[in-house]
Amino acid sequence: MKVKPIPPVPEIYFKNSEEAKQSEYAVITLFALATKHALDNLSLRQLLEDQQLSQVIIDELVRTYEEHRQDFALRQLNLGHYLPNITDVQWRIMADVKSSTSSQSSGEVGFHINLGCYHPHSGDRESIVEFVCNTEEIHLLINKLKDVERQCEKLAKE
């Protein structure tokens, strides 16, 4: 069943421009939040049905979201200041060892950590954070990340 798109109603701006603008902002906010939370079409439809909107309006909003979802996601990546989305970790072990040119060695093992992400279009990797830490520091970091994981699991169960 093909649904007819909702026709534009320019006279609404003459009758009540404030409500028309608020409606536009509401739709933009809906699409921005749906994109931010990576909602699929079914999740968006369920959300709108829970608000008891007209089926014609729901169909039009979901169709528009589906049609432009990739563009919304790309635009959102380019907006404002946001925390980096780290999706990749690279690391290597560094050791201070004795060699033929140096008779001294601390025996310390270090970890070179590089956190980054891959760009969706080019596939290029961007380094976001790079640091070096010793064994004790890497254990502290891992334990803190495990704490974060436990909190996320706890919140997911609630």
> What pLDDT band is residue 1 in, cutting at 50, 70 and 90?
very low
Q: Is the pLDDT higher at 20 or at 39?
A: 39
Alpha carbon 99 to chain centroid, angstroms: 47
- The predicted-structure confidence for 22-66, as pLDDT tens digits, reads as follows 888 889 899 988 988 888 899 999 999 998 988 999 999 999 999
- The predicted-structure confidence for 115-145, as pLDDT tens digits, reads as follows 998 887 888 898 888 889 999 999 999 999 9
| 156 to 52, 149, 153: CA distances (angstroms) | 27, 11, 5
Does 1.20.120 match the CATH number of domain 88-98+107-156? Answer: no
What is the layout of strands, in order, in the sheet containing 109-118?
A: 88-95, 109-118, 125-134
Nearest to 61 by CA among 75, 79, 47, 77: 47
Statement: residue 147 has pLDDT above 80:
yes
B/e letters for 112-131, b = 16+ CB within 10 Å, e = fewer, are ebebbeeeeeeeeeeeeeee
Helices (H), the chain: 11-36, 41-50, 55-77, 135-157
- Give residue limits of the domains in the chain: 9-78, 88-98+107-156
Average pLDDT over residues 71-94: 81
Q: What is the pTM of this model?
A: 0.46
Looking at residue 66, its pLDDT comes to 92
Nearest to 5 by CA among 77, 76, 51, 61: 61
- The predicted-structure confidence for 103-112, as pLDDT tens digits, reads as follows 666 677 889 9
